[in-house]
Every structure is written in C-alpha cells, then in structure tokens.
C-alpha cells in the first residue's frame, strides 16, 4: 500500500521576484542562501567559497560590499559565479551604487544602518533602473534608534514598522522589487515579527535567526525559528546564520527544506535508531561509519541503520535501504524486505555496495536479486533472539505460560517486558 503524502501548511502567496535566475515567492521553490566569509576583494578565494557553497546547497550567495576593493572584486565574481550574487551593504550608499555597477543580482540594505532618506532613494532608483531586487533586511540588534525609542525596544511591531518606512521611501521612487527580512537572535521574537510581516506585506520573506551562534546551539536555534515559520506556510528563502564554516549553513538550509518536504531530496538521508539496551552493535559508531562512506557517494536515498533485527527492519520499512544487527550478523533490507544476511563486520560495506546497485538498478531489480533464503535466515535470527531473551526473563516466561502461547517476534510491544518503543 502506498503511504499518502503528508505535507505542512499551504505556502503563503506572495509577489514573485527574481534574484538573477532564481525566482523567490509565489510558489517558487524555497531557496537557500548563505554568505561568504572571505574578503570580497580576494576574488579567487571568494569564488572558491561560492562554488563550495553552491555544491553544498546554496542557491544564492551574499558577499559583503564594504569598500572599493570589494566592489571591484564583485565585478569579476558576478561574471564567474555559478549562482546569483547579492551584495550586503551597511553604512555607505556609495557601496550599494558600486555593487549595482558591478552587476550584482540583488542588494541587501539594513534600514538601521543606512538611514538617510535621500541616499536610500538614490539607491532604490538605481536598482529600479537596473531591475535589481533589494532585500529590506531589518535586524533587531541594529534597529533604527528612533523606532527603538518609539516602541520601547526591538519589538515585532518595531521591526515591521522599520520595513514599512523603508518600503514607503522605495515607493516614492516607484520601486517595489523587494523582499523582506525581520531577523532577531531571540527565536520567539523572530517568529512573531515574521508572522506580523506576513500579515502586513505581500512581499516574499527571507527567513533567518540572526547571530544564532556556533553549532550545535546555533543550528538548533536557527532550525527552531525557520522551521516553525515554514510549517505555518511563511517564508520564501532562508539563511542559517551560524558562527561556523558557511558550508554548514548551506548544508543545513538544504537539509531542513528536504526534511520538511519543501525541496526534492538530492542528498543522503541517513536515519538510525537512537540505540538502547537491546542494540546488538555500536549503533552510533556504525551509523557514523555509514554516514561517512555513503555521504561521499552523493546518493539521494534514505538509508537506515538499526541496532537490532527484532525491531529494526519493521521500524525502518519506509527507508529505501537499511541494515539491522543481530546475532553477529547484519540483515540488509530494501523497503523493509530482507535481501541479504552478512557478517556483522561487513555491515557498512554491504550497505555501500547495495546503495550503489539500488540507485543504478532500481528497487524492483534489487528485490528480484535478493539472496535466496535471506528472509528465512533472518527470521531464524529473530526467533532465536526473542527466544533467548524470553529464557532470560522469568517474568516473561511466567506470562507466556499464563497466556498459553509463545510470543511472536517482530515488534517492540510483542517483546517480553517491553514498555513500548524506546525511539
């Protein structure tokens, strides 16, 4: 039976903008952004990082444009980049103009830092003439001081008001090619600010928890904020702001979207049980080894590593491929069906071998090529394990005598003394 796809809330409908060739908003795939950490003037180093970011999952990359050498660098970077380039401009409107002249595909302006209306309008006019979109990138930490005073702090209302004021200035010069962000490092504040922005504007929203910090805490904060909004249908493009190699940002963004079913899987999804007292192997070690070996293969499949054969294949039956341990052997399964039984020390090698064949030949062909007798051998292992466990448990033995039947292997609840699923 095919499982019905379950999806999160419908996406909020917005206007559509184009950052280079990447559409944002009005149902376009949610894009992943990251930012280079090199000096933009160092063209080769910046391009190397942009290529690495693109292959890790970034659809758009932002570079700072903070001085003349950065602007000069951008002119070369834009021409050679595999993805659209956005220039980040903070204090000097001349840098925004220089970035536009360099041919960038987008600008990010922070209303808290670039404050003079006349300068903002000059930049918006130039962007309008070149059809280049601007992100109004409001940050709780650098909110305009007047708004801070008026709202008594960096409240969600203050962040949204900052966008409204900037938009009004843009409108004065007939510019509306805009996306919006209202970031904060405080996750509940960020979530509420974006909810209010989604009510107030129909522009696409760029989501992020600013200054989330180093992983793992930063990853958790960013994921909490971004995924809460995406699950409500809010958000059109995302950026993880981590204190880490930006490759981690791009990878995390892409993985989050794949996990939520918002982007097609293009990388390995390794699932593994958390392990428990029933585990027959070092699940953590084997999962890490499998992740390393399979991660290099660029396979867009879901692979499971399960600590015991009694529950593993059943629990992970939705995985494309998996392996479960028992009685010093590994039971290799495809879509929950056992196809091979291998010695325990060959579990990872068997996964790698089968993963490559599965991708090349398809599920039906690999199920047809299953070892004869694999299901039978696996069933014998499971029966023996359950029998052994039963023998060791006086309570279970008494229970089976009272019930007048032997227990049937195959699920957590069916095992003696099992309180349920440890997962």
Point out which residues bind ligand SF4 (CB under 6 A).
273-276, 278-279, 306-308, 311-312, 315, 422-423
Shortest approach of ligand SF4 to residue 283 CB, angstroms?
6
- Give 297 or 380: the residue with its C-beta nearer to ligand SF4: 380
Up-side HSE of residue 349: CA atoms within 13 Å toward CB?
7
Up-side HSE of residue 329: CA atoms within 13 Å toward CB?
19
Angstrom distances, CA of residue 325 to CA of 328, 334, 345, 366: 7, 15, 10, 21
| Residue whose structure tokens are 């659209």 | 84
- Give 213 or 314: the residue with its C-beta nearer to ligand SF4: 314
Shortest approach of ligand SF4 to residue 286 CB, angstroms?
11
Cβ contact 58:255 at 8 Å: no
Shortest approach of ligand SF4 to residue 124 CB, angstroms?
57
Shortest approach of ligand SF4 to residue 423 CB, angstroms?
6
- Give 292 or 423: the residue with its C-beta nearer to ligand SF4: 423
- Give 369 or 413: the residue with its C-beta nearer to ligand SF4: 413
- Give 107 or 281: the residue with its C-beta nearer to ligand SF4: 281
Shortest approach of ligand SF4 to residue 319 CB, angstroms?
12
Cβ contact 63:74 at 8 Å: yes
Shortest approach of ligand SF4 to residue 311 CB, angstroms?
4
- The helix (run of H) or strand (run of E) holding residue 294 is helix 283-295
Angstrom distances, CA of residue 416 to CA of 309, 387, 388, 400: 16, 10, 11, 9
| CB-closest chain residue to ligand SF4 | 307
- Give 68 or 413: the residue with its C-beta nearer to ligand SF4: 413
Give the residue from 153, 237, 5 showing the smallest Cα distance to 161.
153
Report strand pairing: 321-326 vs 329-334. Answer: antiparallel
């Amino acid at each position: 039976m095919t499982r019905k796809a379950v999806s999160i809330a419908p996406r909020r409908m917005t206007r559509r903008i184009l950052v280079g060739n990447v559409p944002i908003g009005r149902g376009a795939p949610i894009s992943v952004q990251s930012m280079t950490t090199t000096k933009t003037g160092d063209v080769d180093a910046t391009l190397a990082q942009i290529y690495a970011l693109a292959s890790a999952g970034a659809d758009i990359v932002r570079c700072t444009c903070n001085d003349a050498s950065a602007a000069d660098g951008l002119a070369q970077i834009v021409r050679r980049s595999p993805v659209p380039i956005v220039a980040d401009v903070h204090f000097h409107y001349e840098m925004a103009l220089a970035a536009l002249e360099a041919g960038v595909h987008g600008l990010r302006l922070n209303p808290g830092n670039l404050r003079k209306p006349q300068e903002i309008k000059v930049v918006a006019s130039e962007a309008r003439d070149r059809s280049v979109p601007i992100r109004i990138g409001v940050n709780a930490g650098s909110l305009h001081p007047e708004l801070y005073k008026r709202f008594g702090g960096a409240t969600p209302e203050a962040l949204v008001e900052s966008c409204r004021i900037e938009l009004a200035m843009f409108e004065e010069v007939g510019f509306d090619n805009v996306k919006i962000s209202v970031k904060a490092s405080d996750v509940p504040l960020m979530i509420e600010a974006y909810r209010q922005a989604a009510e107030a504007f129909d522009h696409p929203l760029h989501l992020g928890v600013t200054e989330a910090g180093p992983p793992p805490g930063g990853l958790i904060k960013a994921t909490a904020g971004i995924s809460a909004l995406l699950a409500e249908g809010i958000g059109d493009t995302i950026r993880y702001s981590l204190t880490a190699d930006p490759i981690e940002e791009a990878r995390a963004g892409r993985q989050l979207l794949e996990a939520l079913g918002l982007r097609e899987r293009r990388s390995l999804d390794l699932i593994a049980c958390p392990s428990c007292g029933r585990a027959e192997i070092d699940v953590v070690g084997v999962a890490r080894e499998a992740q390393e070996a399979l991660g290099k293969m660029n396979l867009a499949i879901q692979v499971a590593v399960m600590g015991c054969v009694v529950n593993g294949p059943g629990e992970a039956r939705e995985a494309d491929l998996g392996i479960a341990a028992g009685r010093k052997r590994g039971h290799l399964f495809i879509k929950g069906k056992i196809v091979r039984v291998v010695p325990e020390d060959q579990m990872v090698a068997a996964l790698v071998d089968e993963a490559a064949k599965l991708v090349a030949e398809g599920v039906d062909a690999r199920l047809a090529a299953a070892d004869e007798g694999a299901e039978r051998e696996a069933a014998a292992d499971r029966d023996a394990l359950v029998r052994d466990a039963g023998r060791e448990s006086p309570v279970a033995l008494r229970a089976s005598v009272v019930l007048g039947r032997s227990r049937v292997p195959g699920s957590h609840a069916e095992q003696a003394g099992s309180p349920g699923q440890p997962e």
